[in-house]
Structure 1
Amino acid sequence: MANDLTLTFLKPGLQTTLQDNGRAGLQHLGVPVGGALDRTSAEMANHLVGNEKNVPVLEITMTGPEIIFDSDALIALTGAPFELYCDGKLVENNTAVYLKSGSVLKFGKLKSGCRAYLAIAGEWKARKWKGSVSPLLQAPEATPESIIQKGSKLKIDSAHLNKTGSWDKNSHTPILSHRIRLRVTPGPEFDSISRIAIARFFGQGHEISQDANRMGYRLKTDLASAEERTEMISSGIIPGTIQLTGSGQPIILLNDAQTTGGYPRIANIINEDLDQLAQLKPGDEIWFSIV
């Protein structure tokens, strides 16, 4: 039997959005992939509450929301660990939790990482564009309900509150760090930069600057001068592409980035490491290894 549930957001958090797996296959039309940045954590949250893996989840960045549930609900929070409270009582991460009608869910301190994923059992009643609820932050009118603001309301048909999935936390809970090593493959313009710049790229850590969001991370490193390269025509880019700007700063492109760019593509982070990348924030450090 269906259980109509409405979420009311008393506080939105720093950046809370409704995300699924995004819009693969539309980049040739200029539409970014979008979708949850840490896909493994998003899928695991859905698994814990008995949803299919592409059911939307709330992606919560660094500071969490405050939410009223007007009906019973089954929830799970994965990814970056938060201090999480329901009506003042501490709630465990990485497990399915039942909430009673009228419960208030509050997010406290972020312990590590950057992004958490809140799954709620049921079918979200949210508008889709091109097959996805994931918002385009450059065009918010396409999926307005998916960008959470103070007073936002989201509706869910929660029909399977007795169905949960299991998870071996010892094997699957990610270890989040302020300093990580990511594996990359050479990009199409890898040979267009100097050997000195390549040595700097692989031989030192790179701090993430404050210029960091779902479109990409700008690194503080100065690798090379603009005189070392010639201009190039805009070419295709994907999540994980690393470009080198004219000022010599690397930029790592993420899911909401444009689909073409005119800076040299010096490397690509392999798909298996993108979830780790999603859990980094300004001030964290990245080292690169070539594979």
Structure 2
Amino acid sequence: MANELILTFLKAGLHTTLQDEGRVGSQNLGVPVGGALDSTSAKMANHLVGNKGNTPLLEITMTGPEILFDSDALIALTGAPFELYCDEKVIENNTPIYIKGGSVIKFGKIKSGCRAYLAVAGNWKATKWQGSVSPILQLNEATPDSLIKKGSKIQIESSLLNKTGSWDKNRHTPIIAHRVRLRVKPGPEFESISRTAIAKFFGQGHKISQDANRMGYRLTTELISEEEREEMISSGIVPGTIQITGSGQPIILLNDAQTTGGYPRIANILSEDMDQLAQLKPGDEIWFSIE
């Protein structure tokens, strides 16, 4: 039996958005992929409450929102572990939780990582563009429900009869570290980049700078000198492409990045390692290894 549920955001959090699996197949039109950065955690949250994998859910970055539920609901939070409260009572991450209408969900401190995913059982009534609710930063009016602000409301056709999914928390809860090794394949311009820059790329750790968001992570390392820097004709890029920018620093492009770029592409991160990348934040360290 379904009931209408409205989520009212008493606080928005640092950067809370509505996400799904994104817009795969529209990159030839210049449309970014978008979608949840940690796709495994997002799918697991939906699985726990019995939703289909592409059901919208909330992606919560670093600081969480405060949400009023006006009706009974089934929720699950996965990804980066937060201190989580329902009406001041501590509730668990990584498990389905039934909450009563009138309850307020609050987020405390984040324990590790960067992004968490909050799923709510039911059919989310949110505006889609090109088949997805994921916001387009250059075209926010296309998905007006998806960039959460204080006072935002989301309507859900909620069903407490949804079959919840089983999940072995000890097996599937992500291990989130501040230093990771990511596997890459050589990029199209790999052979034209100096051996010195290649040695720096693979031979040391790279800190994530403060210039880090859903479009990309700029790293602090300077790989090439000013004399070596050059631009090229814009070419296609995908989430996980690593370019060497005009500053000589590498930048890792993420889901909301443009679909073409004019800097040398030194490498591409394997898709299987992108979820780890999504949980990193400024100051964390990345080492690269060639696959």
Place the TM-score, normalised by the shorter chain, in its bin: over 0.9
Q: Equivalents in 2 of 1:81, 1:273: separation in Å?
A: 19
CA-CA distance at 1:137 after TM superposition: 1.6
Q: Equivalents in 2 of 1:271, 1:81: separation in Å?
A: 23
SS of the counterpart of 2:214? coil
Aligned letter for 1:239? P
SS of the counterpart of 1:109? strand
**Structure 1 residue 121 corresponds to structure 2 residue 121:** yes
Q: Contact between 2:121 and 2:162, CA under 8 Å: does it hold in 1? A: no
Partner residue of 2:282? 282
**Structure 1 residue 78 corresponds to structure 2 residue 78:** yes
CA offset digits 1:233-275 (Å, max 9, x no partner):
0000000000001221000000000000000000000000000
CA offset digits 1:52-82 (Å, max 9, x no partner):
0110110000000000000000000000000
Partner residue of 2:107? 107
Q: Equivalents in 1 of 2:13, 2:229: separation in Å?
A: 42
Aligned letter for 1:178? H
**Structure 1 residue 136 corresponds to structure 2 residue 136:** yes
CA-CA distance at 1:228 after TM superposition: 2.2
SS of the counterpart of 1:145? coil
Partner residue of 1:40? 40
CA-CA distance at 1:227 after TM superposition: 2.5
Aligned letter for 1:56? P
SS of the counterpart of 1:77? strand
Alignment of 1:170-209 (within 5 A): 170-209=170-209
CA-CA distance at 1:170 after TM superposition: 1.3
CA-CA distance at 1:139 after TM superposition: 1.4
Q: Equivalents in 1 of 2:145, 2:39: separation in Å?
A: 21
SS of the counterpart of 1:158? strand
CA-CA distance at 1:163 after TM superposition: 1.8
SS of the counterpart of 2:255? coil
CA offset digits 1:70-126 (Å, max 9, x no partner):
000000000000000000000100000000000000000000000000000000000
Q: Contact between 2:231 and 2:246, CA under 8 Å: does it hold in 1? A: no
Q: Equivalents in 1 of 2:99, 2:160: separation in Å?
A: 14
Q: Equivalents in 2 of 1:278, 1:162: separation in Å?
A: 29
Q: Equivalents in 2 of 1:10, 1:27: separation in Å?
A: 35
Q: Contact between 1:87 and 1:103, CA under 8 Å: does it hold in 2? A: yes
Q: Equivalents in 2 of 1:119, 1:180: separation in Å?
A: 27
Alignment of 1:1-291 (within 5 A): 1-291=1-291
Q: Contact between 2:51 and 2:162, CA under 8 Å: does it hold in 1? A: no
CA-CA distance at 1:144 after TM superposition: 1.0
SS of the counterpart of 2:275? helix
SS of the counterpart of 2:217? strand
Q: Contact between 2:46 and 2:120, CA under 8 Å: does it hold in 1? A: yes
Q: Equivalents in 2 of 1:191, 1:78: separation in Å?
A: 40
Q: Equivalents in 2 of 1:186, 1:126: separation in Å?
A: 39
| 151-160 or 224-233, larger mean C-alpha shift | 224-233
Q: Contact between 1:49 and 1:96, CA under 8 Å: does it hold in 2? A: yes
Aligned letter for 1:12? A
Q: Contact between 1:74 and 1:161, CA under 8 Å: does it hold in 2? A: no
Q: Equivalents in 2 of 1:201, 1:230: separation in Å?
A: 18
CA-CA distance at 1:159 after TM superposition: 2.2
Aligned letter for 1:233? I
The total of aligned residue pairs comes to 291
SS of the counterpart of 2:42? helix
SS of the counterpart of 1:183? strand
Q: Equivalents in 1 of 2:54, 2:205: separation in Å?
A: 35
Runs of 4+ in 1 over 2 A off after TM superposition: 159-162, 226-231
Q: TM-score, normalised by structure 2?
A: 0.99
Q: Equivalents in 1 of 2:160, 2:50: separation in Å?
A: 8
Q: Contact between 1:73 and 1:161, CA under 8 Å: does it hold in 2? A: no
Q: Equivalents in 2 of 1:193, 1:249: separation in Å?
A: 13
CA offset digits 1:163-200 (Å, max 9, x no partner):
21110111111100100000000000011211111000
CA-CA distance at 1:284 after TM superposition: 0.4
Q: Equivalents in 2 of 1:247, 1:119: separation in Å?
A: 40
Specify every segment of 5 or more residues in structure 2 that has no aligned partner in the other structure, as ranges: none
The two structures, once aligned, show a CA RMSD in angstroms of 0.8
Q: Contact between 1:45 and 1:78, CA under 8 Å: does it hold in 2? A: yes
